[in-house]
Amino acid sequence: MSRWKLIWLLILLLAVGGWAAGFWLAYLHRNNSEWANYAGIAGLCLAIIGFPFTIYSLFETQRAGREAQRQAAEAAREAKAAVEQSRADTKQALEKVALMLLAGDLERLQTAVNAVLDFGDHAIWPRALLHCREAGALAAALRVNPLLRENERTMLAQGAEALAIAQTYITDNRINKNTTRRGLYRTHAKNLQSLAMSLTVVRARLSAISLEAPHAPVN
């Protein structure tokens, strides 16, 4: 039995006891004025019986108010949890979009770096220079991306520097000399090959992150 049921049972017992005691006292003194005393007895009975019902209605009103407050608080908590979950889902979706965009830019950079090496191997130096400039601009722009790790940003900064040196080399030693000699200078080619391999590693890491399972729902 719940706590409130015990309380109301006690009140009812007290009310019945009080009614019985009042009736008994009034009945003992009924001869003073028979009809008046019987009327008083009836009024006393109604008062004693009505009192607990009045108290009961007050407590029921309070209980209903507390229940409404509890439900409102529960609804507020559920709404807050739903908003937090929605924010978490939106943030996660935006992070994945940002990762996809970054991966796409890194793929463009890697393609441009490989194009520099390929066109250089075929002595198509104007095209090699064009892709070298494109790659250098991309590397310089991506090196400050906050989604990259510190060592990856350092790698891109070094790659941008290597591409700038390669541009100068292609302009001075290949295009200006109008030579058909194939391939970059060994040091420049090695630097660009290392950059391309590092980009492959970074792209693989970003791809693995984008395929990870979603975070657990917010409680």
Residue 125 confidence (pLDDT) = 94
pLDDT at 217 over 60: no
Contact between 45 and 19 (Cβ < 8 Å): yes
pLDDT for 219 equals 40
User: What pLDDT is attached to residue 122?
Assistant: 93
Q: SS3 sequence, 20-55?
A: HHHHHHHHHCHHHCHHHHHHHHHHHHHHHHHHHHHH
Percent of the chain with pLDDT over 90: 44
| 130-171 residue pLDDT tens | 999 999 999 999 999 999 999 999 999 999 999 999 999 999
Between 199 and 81, the higher pLDDT residue: 199
Digit-coded pLDDT (tens) for 18-73: 666 666 666 666 566 554 455 566 666 666 666 666 766 777 777 777 888 888 88
Q: Any alpha helices (H) in the chain, and if so which ranges?
A: 3-28, 34-121, 125-142, 150-170, 186-210
Per-residue pLDDT at 156: 95
Separation of alpha carbons 139 and 135, rounded Å: 6
pLDDT at 129 over 50: yes
Domain edges within the chain: 3-77, 87-210
Tokens 């490989």 sit at which residue? 114
Q: How far is it, in rounded angstroms, from Cα 14 to Cα 7?
A: 11
Q: What is the CATH number of domain 87-210?
A: 1.20.120
Residue 61 confidence (pLDDT): 79
* CA pair distance 16, 111, nearest whole angstrom: 94
Burial of 49 (0-12, 13-18, 19+ CB in 10 A): middle
